[in-house]
Amino acid sequence: MKHLALIVRTLAAWSITLLIVFPLIWLVITAFKTEQQAIAIPPQLFFTPTMESFHEVDERSDYFLFAKNSVITSVVSTLLGLLIAAPAAYSMAFFRTKRTRDILMWMLSTKMMPAVGALVPIYVMAQTAGLLDSLTALIIVFTLSNLPIMVWMLYSGFKDIPPDILEAARMDGASIWGEFLHVIRPLAMGTLASTGLLCLVLSWNEAFWSLNLSSAKAGTLATLIASYSSPEGLFWAKLSAASLMAIAPIVVVGWFSQKQLVQGLTFGAVK
Amino acid sequence: MNRLLPRALMAPAVVTLFLWMIVPLVMTIYFSVVRYNLMQPGPKDFLGLANFEYFVTDPDFGPSVLNTLMLLGSVIAITVILGVALALLVNESFPGRGIVRVLLISPFFVMPTANALLWKHMMMNPVYGVLAQVAIFFGSTPVDWLTDHPLFSVILMVAWQWLPFACLIFITSLQSLDRDQMEAAGMDGANALQKFWFLTLPHLGRPIAVGVMIEMIFLMSVFAEIFTTTGGGPGNESTNVAFLIFKQALMNFDVGVASAGALFAVVLANIAAVFLIRMIGKNLD
C-alpha cells in the first residue's frame, strides 16, 4: 500500500513536471536543429544536432550588443541598488525608531504602483532629457523599481544579526564605519549576495520598461527576442537559439535564488 | 551625531524612492487634465475631466477592463489551484524530488518576451506548432489559438509563467506545517481529505492571500506577452488596460488621455495593495 502510493506519487509528479517544462525542453531541442528540421511535420525528436542557429543569430541581429546591454543594465542597477539600499537597511535594522516601521511600509507601497501607471511621465521625462534608448534611463528605472525589494530583504537579513555582537564591538570602541566593515559586513555577506542575485534576475528579465524605453541602441535581450515576433518568415531554430542564450544563464542563477525569491517578492510575508 | 547618522544613511533610499513615487504621480495628474499630444505641439490647455471622459467612453475601454479582469481572475485561479495541488504533490519525498522542484520553478525565470514567442510560434502555430501536431495526432482539427482564442492564449502564457511562483510560495509554506499535528489527526482517524480541509488549507490561507495579491499587482501590468504576440488583437479581443494606455500614449501619442487611463490603473492596483500592505504590516513585528 505504502509502496503503491510512492510509485503513484513519483509517476504523477514526474509526468506533470515534464508536461509543464515541456515548452522549455522543446526550446532547447529546437535550438540545435536546422530551420528545416524545426518546422518538419511530424516534429522530429531524433536528428543530428547542429550549432548552425547559434552562429546565425549574431548575423541576423547584433546579438552581442544586446547581451552586453543586458549585462550592463542588470549588473549596474543591482550594484547601484545595493549601494543605496544597504545603508538604509542597516540604519533601519540597528537604529530602530518609532518611524522605522512606517518607512518600511511606505517603501513597500511604492512597489505596489503598477508600472503602466508611471509609463507616460517616465517616457516624457526620458524624451525631454534625451535619454530615450539609453542605458542610463534603463539603469535608473531598474534600480528604482527594485529598490523597495532590496531594502526590505536587506533589512530582514540585518535584523537577524544578534545585537550583542554590535554592543561588544561598540564597547571596544569601534567606529560606526569599523563596525560596519568588520562586524556587519562579514555576517551580512550572504544577505547581500542573495539580494543582489534576486535583483539581477528581475532586471535581466524586465520587459515592460525595456520595450518602452529602448530599441536598437540600448535594447536588452528581452527587446531582441521581441523582435523575432514579426511574421517575416519561419526562423524558429534561430529564435530558440537566441532565447536559449538569453535565458540559460539567468535560469541557472534563478535555481540558486529560489528561497530569496519567495522572501523577496512576498516581502517576508511567507516563511 | 548618533541621531544624525542613521538618518543620513537612510536619506538616499528615502529621497530617491520619494521622487520615484511623487514625480510621476504629480506629472500624471497634471497631464490627465490638459491637452497634450506629442505630435501636436501647442499650449497645454486645461481640459478638466475631458481626458477621463474620452478614455472611459473609448469603445475599447469596456472590453479592456473586462479583459484585464478575465486575465487576472483566470491566471490567479489556475495558479492557486494547480499551485496548491503541485505543492502538496512534491511536498512528500519521492525519487528525484530535488530535480522536480528545480525543473518546476524554471518557467518563472524565462523572460516574458521569450516565453511569449515560444508559445506563439513553437506551441501555438496552427500548422507547425506542437499543439497543432498533437491535435492532428488525435484526429481533430488544429486550432489557430492566437486568432481564435487570443485572450485565452495570453492567459495560458502568463499562467505558465506564474504557476511556478505560486507553487514555490506554497512549498515554502508547507514546510512550516506542524507534522505532529498531522500525525495526531491521522491517529484520531482523520482521512486525507479531512486533514487537507481542516489542517493544510487553513495553514495555506495566508500564503494564498499573499500570492493572490502579489499576482494582482504584477498581472495588472501584463504587457510584454500581449505586445509580442497578439498586439492586443484581433480587434480589441486581447487588449487589457495596460496595453490600452500604451496604445494611447505611444501609438496615438495622446499623453493626456493615456495619463487619465494610468490613474485609473493606479486606483485599481491600490485596492489590492491596501490589503496586502496591512497583512505584511501585521507580520512585521
Q: CA angle at residue B67 from B65 to B73, to 5 degrees?
A: 100
Inter-chain residue contact A147 with B17, CB threshold 8 Å: yes
pLDDT at B141: 85
pLDDT band at B282 (very low <50, low <70, confident <90, very high): confident
pLDDT at A184: 77
What chain B holds in terms of domains, given with CATH numbers, is 4-284 (1.10.3720.10)
pLDDT in tens, A81-96: 999 999 999 888 888 8
Q: Which residues contact A181 (CB under 8 A, 6 or more apart)?
A: none
pLDDT at A37: 82
Closest CA to B229 of B112, B123, B120: B120
Closest CA to A109 of B38, B217, B96, B265: B217
Q: How far is CA A61 from the centre of its chain?
A: 24
Any idea where the domains of chain A sit in the sequence?
62-234+247-265
pLDDT at B207: 87
Q: How many CB atoms lie within 10 A of CB A181?
A: 12
Q: How many residues does chain B have?
A: 285
CA distance to partner chain A, nearest, from residue B74 (Å)? 18
Whether the predicted pLDDT of B115 surpasses 90:
yes
pLDDT at B2: 65
**Based on C-alpha coordinates, what's the Rg of chain A?**
23
Identify which of A62-71, B188-197, B244-253 has the greatest average pLDDT: A62-71
For residues B167 and B37, which has the higher predicted lDDT (pLDDT)?
B167
Chain A CB contacts of B283 below 8 Å: 268-269
- Residue A29 CA to residue A268 CA, distance in Å, equals 38
Whether the predicted pLDDT of B72 surpasses 80:
yes
Chain B CB contacts of A254 below 8 Å: 105-106, 108-109
pLDDT in tens, B8-41: 888 899 999 999 989 999 998 998 898 888 788 7
> What's the pTM value of the predicted model, to 2 decimals?
0.88
- Residue A79 CA to residue B235 CA, distance in Å, equals 43
Q: CA angle at residue B280 from B276 to B285, to 5 degrees?
A: 160
What percentage of chain B carries pLDDT values higher than 90? 25
Whether the predicted pLDDT of B1 surpasses 60:
no
Report the residue of chain B nearest A242, measured CA to CA. Answer: B114
* Cα pseudo-dihedral B92, B95, B101, B107, rounded to 10: -130
pLDDT in tens, A12-30: 999 999 999 999 999 999 9
Q: Which three cell numbers stand for residue A157?
A: 537579513
Q: Which three cell numbers stand for residue B75?
A: 491566471
Whether the predicted pLDDT of A271 surpasses 70:
no
Instruction: Tell me the average pLDDT across A162-190.
Output: 78
Whether the predicted pLDDT of A190 surpasses 90:
no
Whether the predicted pLDDT of A32 surpasses 70:
yes
pLDDT at B81: 95
Whether the predicted pLDDT of A1 surpasses 70:
no
Whether the predicted pLDDT of A67 surpasses 80:
yes
pLDDT band at A34 (very low <50, low <70, confident <90, very high): confident
Closest CA to B129 of B121, B117, B137: B121
CA distance to partner chain A, nearest, from residue B239 (Å)? 14
Whether the predicted pLDDT of A60 surpasses 80:
no
Q: Which of A46-55, B69-78, B112-121, B137-146 has the lowest mean pLDDT?
A: A46-55
pLDDT in tens, A207-266: 899 999 988 888 999 998 888 877 655 688 888 998 999 998 888 888 887 777 777 777
Interface test with chain A among B111, B212, B222, B264, by most A beta carbons within 10 Å: B111
* Nearest-by-Cβ selection for A225 from B9, B90, B114: B114
CA distance to partner chain B, nearest, from residue A120 (Å)? 6
* Nearest-by-Cβ selection for B168 from A6, A88, A261: A261
pLDDT at A233: 58
* Per-window interface: B 151-190 vs A, CB < 8 A: 160, 163-165, 168-169, 172-173, 176
- Which amino acid belongs to residue A3? H
Mean of all residue pLDDT scores within chain B = 87
pLDDT at B253: 85
Mean of all residue pLDDT scores within chain A = 86
State whether residue A16 sits within 8 Å of chain B by CB: yes
Long-range contacts of A120-123 (CB under 8 A, 24+ apart): A120/B27, A120/B28, A120/B31, A120/B245, A120/B249, A120/B255, A120/B258, A120/B259, A120/B262, A121/B23, A121/B24, A121/B27, A121/B28, A121/B31, A121/B259, A122/A209, A122/A213, A122/B24, A123/A212, A123/A213, A123/B249, A123/B250
Look up the ipTM and state it: 0.85
Cβ atoms of B154 and B223 closer than 8 Å? no
A62-234+247-265 CATH, one of 1.10.3720.10, 3.90.470.20, 1.20.1250.20, 3.30.750.200: 1.10.3720.10
Closest CA to A249 of B159, B110, B220, B142: B110
Instruction: Tell me the average pLDDT across B128-154.
Output: 89
Whether the predicted pLDDT of A125 surpasses 80:
yes
pLDDT in tens, B206-229: 888 888 878 887 888 888 899 999
Instruction: Tell me the average pLDDT across A189-199.
Output: 86
* Cα pseudo-dihedral A250, A252, A256, A261, rounded to 10: 40
For residues A43 and B78, which has the higher predicted lDDT (pLDDT)?
B78
What percentage of chain A carries pLDDT values higher than 70? 98
